[in-house]
């Protein structure tokens, strides 16, 4: 605790000394935050932070951008930043989604990075706007102790600042932290701090200067499955004959506290409630409706423990890895299914076609470190173009499948640090001439034709030398 306090003081001193140098930069923005309310949801391993900002323009010129500041460690684990402007009062409140982009500004003090919210209506002098911001952090809970045995429950650290890191002057602010259970081992106190059942309240704090930082540490119990897919490759193969084949290759890991020592099956089977509470053995995958030929297997064959439920709106596949996953245990598997192509493939007005499919990982409550979406277009398609509503890396590849000659174009979309919020549709546009559908059948027909011709001619030729 003592060391912690010293570190905190050090930080504060550092910030205050830096404050003067950046004050000019910040004040050029001429914005201030009248009220900030932050709600941090720590109930799962995906941390959701809801931030409500009331921003006021105190400068002379109208402002059209609002900056959000994140510490370097946060930026590294930041999966999503979304913002919306609220208009109207109370019941008639409406949300207007706003663009958020990573700012190119030079990093602030201590490597602070910025994200810029672009306002739809610039704020003129004296006006205020209310912004709702949601950002999601992954892999930010550090298990402590880092190794636990089968019978222990999992405790984690969460690190943040009690005071909102902001490039602006903040008049008033509060922070609420919600923990999954009432078991909280310890938390840093930055007066005023209050704890009530599963909620810890920091604040209200008044008049905080820009870049004020008050590190806090919350040590609490979190037994939710820390299911992380280290790499997921989704291959979506379009066939104009009527099928859309999806193959998903997972490498799953339990990213919580590492399992230590004995795994006793007898304990695991007889004392279900309190043994291996942080482990998990089921995962739920939400698949599109009308799926068919679903399979679930891994490198050494079919995994027989899965259950599929289908209805008109969605299909749910409950999968069980071969063994329950304890902390640090890994597993790899493949899920594959087919869906009717007419549900996802459409003709665009300009005569081309486009695929409309969900981007992210179908497993509920999982983080994907590296997500590869590969759209395999039919052989002979041209001008592929992907439209995704968030930044992804794109490239093209060629894949040879059944009897291909020129190969199929593959649009590869790569996204790091994907969360369930990325499960939104994306589009791939391309142009395709239906005559190419007949290429392979015709090829086979020709091959067999020549084979039969050869056979007939061989039977009718007398190749013997003797007559």
State the residues that interact with other proteins by CB under 8 A: 261-266, 269-270, 297-305, 322-323, 328-332, 400-405, 459, 462, 464
Buried b (16+ CB within 10 A) or exposed e, 240-266: eeeebbbbbbbbbbbbbbebbeebeee
In the chain, count H helices and then E strands: 4, 31
Indicate the residue among 43 and 264 with the shorter CB distance to other proteins: 264
> Closest approach of Cβ 278 to other proteins, in Å?
16
Distance between CA atoms of residues 224 and 324, nearest Å: 14
Q: Do the Cβ atoms of 155 and 268 come closer than 8 Å?
A: no
Which C-beta is closer to other proteins: that of 77 or that of 322?
Answer: 322
Rounded Cα–Cα distance for residues 2 and 317 (Å): 50
- Residue 65 zone, left/alpha/beta (φ > 0; ψ -120 to 50; rest): beta
CB of 42 to other proteins, least distance (A): 28
Beta bridge partners of 176: 39, 201
Judge whether 57 and 126 are in contact, CB under 8 Å.
yes
- Give the shortest CB-279-to-other proteins separation in angstroms: 13
Distance of closest approach, residue 22 Cβ to other proteins, in angstroms: 48
- Shortest distance in whole angstroms from residue 211 CB to other proteins: 44
Residue 379 to residue 402: CA distance in whole angstroms:
10
User: Minimum Å distance from CB 321 to other proteins?
Assistant: 8
Comparing C-alpha atoms, which of 387, 358, 411, 371 is closest to residue 79?
A: 371
Nearer to other proteins, 369 or 421 (CB): 369
Q: Between 90 and 467, name the residue whose CB sits nearer to other proteins.
A: 467
For the chain, report the end-to-end CA distance as a whole number of angstroms: 108
Q: Which is nearer to other proteins, 46 or 303 (CB)?
A: 303
Q: For tokens 């056979």, name the residue.
A: 455
Calpha distance 143→221 (Å, rounded): 9
Rounded CA separation 295/309 (Å): 13
**What is the C-alpha separation between 251 and 229, in angstroms, rounded?**
6
Query: Residue 7 or residue 146: which is nearer to other proteins going by CB?
Result: 146
CB-wise, 301 or 391, nearer to other proteins? 301
Shortest Cβ 323–other proteins spacing (Å): 5
What are phi and psi for residue 245, nearest 5 degrees? -100, 125
Instruction: Tally the C-alpha atoms within 13 A of residue 146's C-alpha that lie toward its C-beta.
Output: 1
How many residues are listed for the chain in this entry? Answer: 467
Minimum distance from CB of 286 to other proteins (Å)? Answer: 25
Q: Which residues contact 383 (CB under 8 A, 6 or more apart)?
A: 352, 429, 430, 431
To 10 degrees, the CA torsion angle through 348, 354, 358, 361?
A: -170
Closer by beta carbon to other proteins, 74 or else 237: 237
Task: Choose between 24 and 270: whose C-beta lies nearer to other proteins.
Answer: 270
Q: Please, which residue, 196 or 459, has the CB nearer to other proteins?
A: 459
Shortest distance, position 265 Cβ to other proteins, whole Å: 4
The least distance separating other proteins from the CB of residue 433, rounded to whole angstroms, comes to: 21
Q: Rounded to 5 degrees, what are φ and ψ at 208?
A: -100, 135
Task: Give the nearest distance from C-beta 45 to other proteins in angstroms.
Answer: 20
Comparison of 66 and 303: residue with beta carbon closer to other proteins: 303
Question: How many alpha carbons lie under 13 Å from residue 224 in its C-beta half-sphere?
Answer: 20
């Amino acid at each position: 605790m003592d060391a912690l306090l010293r570190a905190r003081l050090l930080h504060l001193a550092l910030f205050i000394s830096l404050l003067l140098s950046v004050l000019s930069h910040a004040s050029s923005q001429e914005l201030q935050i009248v009220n900030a309310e932050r709600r941090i949801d720590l109930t799962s391993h995906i941390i959701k932070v809801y931030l409500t900002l009331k921003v006021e323009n105190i400068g002379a010129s109208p402002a059209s951008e609002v900056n959000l500041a994140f510490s370097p460690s946060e930026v590294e684990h930041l999966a999503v930043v979304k913002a919306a402007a609220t208009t109207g009062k109370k019941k008639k409140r409406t949300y207007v989604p706003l663009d958020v982009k990573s700012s190119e500004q030079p990093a602030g003090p201590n490597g602070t990075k910025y994200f810029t919210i672009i306002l739809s209506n610039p704020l003129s002098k004296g006006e205020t706007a209310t912004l709702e911001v949601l950002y999601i952090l992954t892999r930010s809970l550090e298990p402590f102790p880092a190794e636990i045995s089968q019978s222990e429950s999992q405790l984690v650290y969460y690190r943040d600042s009690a005071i909102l890191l902001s490039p602006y002057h903040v008049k008033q602010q509060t922070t609420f932290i919600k923990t999954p259970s009432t078991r909280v081992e310890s938390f840093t106190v930055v007066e005023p701090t209050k704890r009530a059942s599963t909620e810890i309240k920091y604040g209200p704090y008044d008049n905080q200067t820009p870049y004020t930082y008050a590190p806090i540490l919350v040590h609490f119990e979190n037994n939710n499955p820390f299911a992380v897919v280290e790499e997921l490759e989704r291959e979506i193969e379009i066939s104009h004959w009527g099928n859309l084949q999806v193959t998903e290759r997972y490498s799953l890991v339990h990213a919580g506290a590492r399992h230590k020592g004995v795994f006793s099956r007898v304990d695991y089977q007889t004392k279900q409630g309190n043994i291996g509470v942080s482990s998990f053995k089921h995962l739920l995958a939400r698949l599109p409706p009308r799926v068919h030929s679903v399979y679930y297997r891994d490198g050494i064959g079919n995994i027989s423990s899965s259950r599929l439920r289908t209805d008109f709106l969605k299909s749910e596949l409950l999968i069980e890895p071969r063994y329950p996953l304890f902390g640090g245990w890994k597993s790899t598997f493949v899920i594959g299914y087919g869906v009717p192509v007419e549900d996802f493939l459409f003709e665009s007005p300009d005569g081309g076609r486009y695929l409309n499919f969900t981007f992210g990982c179908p497993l509920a409550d999982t983080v994907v470190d590296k997500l590869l979406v590969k759209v395999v277009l039919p052989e002979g398609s041209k001008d592929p173009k992907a439209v995704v509503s968030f930044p992804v890396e794109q490239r093209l590849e060629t894949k040879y499948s059944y009897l291909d000659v020129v190969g199929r174009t593959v649009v590869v979309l790569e996204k790091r640090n994907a969360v369930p919020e990325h499960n939104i549709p994306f589009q791939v546009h391309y142009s395709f001439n239906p005559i190419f559908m007949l290429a392979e059948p015709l090829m086979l027909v020709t091959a067999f034709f020549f084979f039969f011709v050869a056979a007939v001619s061989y039977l009718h030729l007398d190749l013997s030398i003797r007559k």
